[in-house]
Structure 1
Amino acid sequence: MKRLLMIMVVVFLTFSHGALFGGDHLENVTLTELISHTQMSSKDDRSVRMVWWLPEEFWVISMRNNPAMNQEYIEEFSAVISGYTIFLVLDGTISPLGTINYAPFEETMNNLVLSTENMVRHLPLPRNAISSDLKMTLDMFKPVFSNMMGSMGQNIQYAVFRGEQDESLFSVLDSTNFTITIHDEVFRFNLPLVCFLPQKWCNACEKQFQGDYNFCPYHGIELIIKKSGQ
């Protein structure tokens, strides 16, 4: 337990300083890039809603470049989050007078659904179905967000999902889409996350494009992935 607490302190320090991710498909991906593809906010002017997916890569790679962490600690922490799909959620509405009213935890969870492309619906796990180590890990977010964001941070909740075979529902490199619905508002996530895909190259205009492009928008020719040394 003490070692897990130490790991969490290091994770939050790394998270706060926006460390670079490294290794495998995570090389050269920054924390800012990852958040831009996993955090979504409401487009409704009357709502203050946010959904933030925390894939396993967020946690593990946040520790990888920190000299205080060794492989044993990383593997121990990976075991805590393994098999879970985790989201941070904010659910608020703006009154006619401009004040923000945040929904209680139970109301948010009762009106939150994760849906896959093939229309399979998943509900958040009840708290007694989440491991004690994971609950402690997520609960440590609360004072961090409270200090950073005041009342808004205090009202950020976590929603946790798990597959029928005790596995996580998605990977950042999966070729699928899913949605999170809070009340009647839908947040759509497209996979694979483009920040983890290699850049592509157009031989005609010699320009680079993000990895989810298949054809050059200017010339219509198929883009290629340049290999090292090309």
Structure 2
Amino acid sequence: MKKILLLSTFFFVAIFFAQEKTKAEKLLVEIQQVKQVNKNIKMVWWMPTEYWRAATINTKQITEQQLQTLENMLDDYTIIAAGDYNLGSEINGVDFNSLPISNKFELYDLKGKKIPVLKNAEIDEKVSLLIDRFLKPLFGKMLGKMGTGIEFFIFSNKDSAGNKIIDPTKEGGFKVVLSGQSFTYKLPLVSLMPEKTCPIDQQKFPGNYIYCPIHGNKF
């Protein structure tokens, strides 16, 4: 258990403080959604296993073996962090007043079937440890009051046949409903797709492009 916690510490410190984050930042645009209506703001952050590799691809603090250990530990789960806040005023800025969301968070697959959140007893102890003893405090330290108001929801990502329910590399999608507001994710994640190169000038474009937007030729 101590080995997992120590490994997780080095792993996530490398993620948040690595200088090269280009690919991870592109991925964050797709997996993190924020919606604001007047003085209410909601955030949903899906954490697919693929994110951790993207975030550490340019750091030398994590070995391939350590990365694979964490990937294997998390791959059976869908992990989503979320927060619902009313914005207030403070002398030095904005105050985030967290709203309870434990019973106001729902996850639906592409066909609209509700995926049940796992009970604590159904979650691997190492995964629970990772979230409760590291991720939650880290979010609070980095994001202040907003971070302490974030809650984590864990779901099984395997169906009865052992296949992934949500696969960020394959066509599909899913929906999160947080306090009545919908957050839709379309898959595959473009940032995980190989870039396409225009044969005319060798310029690179996102992997979901079918035609070169400059020359009109089909990739």
Within 2, Cα distance between the matches of 1:145 and 1:176?
29
Shift of 1:164: 3.4
Q: Does 1:6 align with 2:31?
A: no
Q: Is the 8 A contact 1:50 1:91 kept in 2?
A: yes
- Structure 1 6/167 Cα, relative in aligned 2: closer, same or farther at 3 Å? farther
**Hey, what does 1:121 align to over in structure 2?**
114
Within 2, Cα distance between the matches of 1:65 and 1:212?
24
Q: Does 1:192 align with 2:188?
A: yes
Q: Which amino acid aligns with 1:41?
A: V
Within 2, Cα distance between the matches of 1:218 and 1:135?
48
**Hey, what does 1:86 align to over in structure 2?**
79
- Deviating 4+ runs (over 6 angstroms): 95-98
Q: Which amino acid aligns with 2:152?
A: Y
Shift of 1:79: 2.9
> Unpaired runs of 5+ in structure 2?
none
Within 2, Cα distance between the matches of 1:155 and 1:175?
32
Within 2, Cα distance between the matches of 1:52 and 1:38?
6
Comparing 164-173 with 45-54, greater Cα deviation is found at: 164-173
Comparing 87-96 with 42-51, greater Cα deviation is found at: 87-96
| Identical-pair percentage | 23
Shift of 1:159: 0.8
Q: Aligned-pair RMSD on alpha carbons?
A: 2.8
1:74 to 67, 76, 80: 67
**Hey, what does 2:104 align to over in structure 1?**
111
Q: Does 1:50 align with 2:62?
A: no
Q: Counterpart of 2:175 in 1: which secondary structure?
A: strand
Shift of 1:218: 5.5
Q: Is the 8 A contact 2:39 2:86 kept in 1?
A: yes
State the Cα deviation string for residues 101-134 of structure 1 (Å, max 9, x = none).
3123xxx232211122222221322223212110
Shift of 1:138: 0.9
1:164 to 150, 159, 162: 159
Within 2, Cα distance between the matches of 1:206 and 1:143?
45
Within 2, Cα distance between the matches of 1:77 and 1:167?
19
Q: Which amino acid aligns with 1:112?
A: F
Within 2, Cα distance between the matches of 1:13 and 1:95?
31
Within 2, Cα distance between the matches of 1:62 and 1:76?
15
**Hey, what does 1:143 align to over in structure 2?**
137
Within 2, Cα distance between the matches of 1:214 and 1:43?
33
TM-score (normalised: structure 1)? 0.79
Q: Does 1:16 align with 2:16?
A: yes
Structure with more of its chain in strand, by fraction: 2
Q: Which amino acid aligns with 2:165?
A: L
Q: Which amino acid aligns with 2:181?
A: E
Q: Counterpart of 1:88 in 2: which secondary structure?
A: strand
Q: Does 1:214 align with 2:183?
A: no
Comparing 81-90 with 64-73, greater Cα deviation is found at: 64-73
> Unpaired runs of 5+ in structure 1?
22-28, 225-230
